Structure 1
């Protein structure tokens, strides 16, 4: 009856299956407004169900307004529910078209910011998760506050000291849902009074959108091989914040020298503004120790944003911010208003991962691995392009920038690459002022073996040359 077939061995209850089947027929217009539904006794007999099961399904439909039932009258389909038939056809056509297009094989994958998750010590992480779950008590399962698990902040402060030489108090650390969320909070703090945010140009388009979504007005400052050109900082402007990636400028790769860092701090002091330091992957430096953060120069002027997405795995969604004392009260208020806190289990497991130094060992191993891959991609580019390619920013991180003096890479090139199975991003995609970096490509290599790098560069050369 009604063309309904129920599966009695299915995990979904029979009343829920019946409710969904009738609901879908009403939405598709197979049961039109005003149509009578069978009586509960009749439908129960036809479908070999108990009458109570049918009554419960009807009650769900009545409660949600799909059908109308009044005492002494039959149950009818309510008015105004059927979806527009033309819309249904459009959706079906679109869905069918998407499914009909076969996925193109990927010949080369040079996406940026991709750690090699194949080498992450999953078993060790699973041990930490199990131990953390066993150790959590009832008091830990409630709201623990917007600052994050205290044990994690203690371990994070210790790790920052041994890995970066940073002397940070746990009370100044705020756990976030990844670096992007930290930037959203920083943008919310600094977006008032109509002030502007200075940002590197080019800079990561996703980070830029984090500010724009908060209504911030952006003022781009060009970068060169040493990062933001501080001699171009505007005079007389109302500046609230300065967004920089000083330890490994994204995407060009420069390291901001001390003289420019000092100039930024002096400028922030004069403007009563804050520097937002995004330190997204400087742990992976291949010619010496990681670069000291700007935060060490002026902890009262720098909001330091860090993440474990590259160090551990992106799905962890744990980042952190070191917040100047003057902003901490407002930061707590904003975080409480938005989503209160991060999930507790991941924080507890990460605290154990840090305490046992397993993260330290993993980072040390991956620094060697990524360093070998950096050499592999530099050699592959030299072999494929010879002197036609110049490399920027190859001493740190999981990507480099390749400049091709006589080439032009725009968004159309990006689309053609994807159609051809080559995943690569023009630097121009991250530029605010267009037209200055059209001859540069961003090549991520952290997630690729040397063999995959060599094959990918050959495919890219065949596509470009």
Structure 2
């Protein structure tokens, strides 16, 4: 070995510094393949360290494949591929262009109100949960019994859905649940009716299993069921309480008609009840699953109403699907956090969930009214407001000779980020561009500022 001076520092253990130095010698070619290294004793004496220190360094090098031990012969350098310079992995600096500033106001629809989030309560309950023995194990494959029981009670009280906790499945997201569900349903069904416009994430999940689509047109006045009797599909995915994205709610007559249709077809309704908690004009409508639980697969989640990052979704399965689902996925691990499930279960048990929903309904209603007021004041007859009765976003149809792309780019140039809606439409295209405005995380001052900037951007 070449004569090299070791200089120890105080920043890391000496064995690690020896390991790093020898690793560098080997990678740079200063130590050649099959070259013999000093013995543990020799190296320890020369560096004035303990033999245990040099032994630990050699053991680390052996474990990573840099050297090998050959019994009493000692340690030898292994063959390595030539070291590729780290510079090769450094991406070239992009050309200095005009810097992109973050938007002043972001009308995103994937966030909730942070100011009113029950942080102290949630943290206190989470800390208590961490003291429980149940927190230190793997979760149940279909969700924790304590959370499923709380959801069962809540669904009966708030949505009129009567279900046994054993029929509830806990997952991480609506898409994940639909992908898992699709694997079961595709054994019996080849096509599905979806809303147009409708939630694109659901379509992606069904497309994953190669379902064919039939379209149910949805307008600002509601869904058009006039052609459903002529459709071949016996499976339908629908958002009846707050249609995504139009925001209309299905009337009781339409709900009864749909239940009659699905029973006649011996099919299933997949009811996505993603944000039914936030209705501002009347109480939340009863769920379809409260009318007929035998033919309705019910989906709900905590992302919109509580916290997107918690990744907790639930599904209520009819008995005819439940048995197949549990048999198929009995050996799969739970896709969601055990810790989040236990904390949410205790949160609901203590009544904090109901208190949170009631409080946020008032908070979001105030924001929605303020947004609608500002839009009408600034834009007048140039826009139509869609979906102001419920939810955490609304749509605005702009009666302008502009494209959706132009409106979004123009808004961003004025410091405002807005969301497109074209991704929701399949065939049932709108006559004017429609923009989506989420407001849940914004203050009333930010809403006012954002709408004012949109007015400057779009009507100057």
TM-score (ref. length: structure 2): 0.85
Match of 2:417 in 1: 423
- Taking the aligned partners of 1:397 and 1:155, their CA distance within structure 2 comes to 23
Out of 256, 264, 269, the residue aligned to residue 250 of structure 2 is 256
- Is 1:114 paired with 2:125? no
List per-residue Cα deviations over 1:198-257 (Å, max 9, x = no partner). 2112223333323333443433332112443222437363x3632111111111111122
Work out whether residues 61 and 67 of structure 1, in 8 Å CA contact, stay in contact via their aligned partners in 2: yes
Q: How far off its partner does 1:38 sit?
A: 6.3
For 1:460, what is the secondary structure of its paired residue? helix
Post-superposition Cα deviations, 1:347-369, rounded to whole Å, max 9, x if no partner, equal 22222221221111111111111
How many residue pairs get aligned? The number is 454
Distance 1:76 1:173, change over 3 A: same
**Equivalent in the alignment of 2:358:** 364
Q: Please tell me whether residue 246 in structure 1 is matched to residue 240 in structure 2.
A: yes
2:281 to 282, 287, 304: 287
Cα gap change, 1:423 to 1:74, in 2 (>3 Å): same
Residue 163 in structure 1 maps to residue 158 in structure 2: yes
Task: Report the Cα distance in structure 1 between the residues aligned to 2:226 and 2:4, rounded to whole angstroms.
Answer: 75
Q: Does 1:352 align with 2:346?
A: yes
| Partner Cα distance (1:359, 1:396) in 2 | 19
> What is the aligned counterpart of 1:172 among 167, 180, 184?
167
Q: How many angstroms apart in 1 are the aligned matches of 2:360 and 2:303?
A: 14
Equivalent in the alignment of 1:123: 120
Task: State the SS of the aligned residue for 1:220.
Answer: strand
SS in 2 for 1:254: coil
Shift of the 69–160 alpha-carbon distance from structure 1 to 2, 3 Å rule, reads: same
Unaligned runs of 5+ residues in structure 2 are: none
Report the 3-state secondary structure (helix = DSSP H, G, I; strand = E; otherwise coil) of the residue aligned with 1:402: strand
| Contact 2:222/2:250 (<8 A) preserved | yes
2:203 aligns with one of 204, 208, 211: 208
Deviations 1:393-434 (A, max 9, x none): 110010001000224444575466556643211111322348
Q: Is the 8 A contact 2:270 2:299 kept in 1?
A: yes
1:154 aligns with 2:155: no
Q: What is the RMSD of the two structures over their aligned residues, measured on CA atoms?
A: 3.6
2:192 is paired with a residue whose SS is strand
Q: Report how far residue 90 of structure 1 moved.
A: 6.6
- Cα distance change of structure 1 residues 195 and 43 upon mapping to structure 2, 3 Å threshold: farther
Structure 1 portions without partners, runs of 5+: none
Matches within 5 A, 1:362-401: 362-401=356-395
| Largest Rg, 1 or 2 | 2
Taking the aligned partners of 1:32 and 1:104, their CA distance within structure 2 comes to 48
Correspondent of 1:343 among 323, 337, 349: 337
Question: Which residue is 1:325 aligned to?
Answer: 319
Higher helix proportion, which one? 1
TM-score, structure 1 as length reference:
0.84
Between 1:16-25 and 1:405-414, the stretch displaced more is 16-25
Alpha-carbon distance, 1:18 to partner: 6.3
> Are residues 1:448 and 2:448 paired?
no
Cα deviation, residue 102, structure 1: 5.3
